[in-house]
Amino acid sequence: MRKAIIEFLHPEGLHARPAAELVKVAGQFDCQIFLAYQNRRVNAKSIMGVLSLAIHPGASIELEADGSDEDRALRELTSLLGGDFK
């Protein structure tokens, strides 16, 4: 299991479009992926779970991956979440 702390930089927060992109990318990996924010932890492959976190710009979030391709998943999702979803 690997974990990373990321500062979420999207200026509008984690609304539907970036959340959908996150879930799409997370779904490509053969591992369990979780996102944690404000003492809540959700499956990063679940759009409803991700949206329920209501992550705002500048938030510090924890990403956790556990499985056969956890390193690649963590690297790609960290890049996505730390960027601006262009």
Catalytic residues, by residue number, are: 15
How far apart CA 34 and CA 11 sit, in angstroms, is 22
How far apart CA 69 and CA 74 sit, in angstroms, is 9
How far apart CA 65 and CA 71 sit, in angstroms, is 8
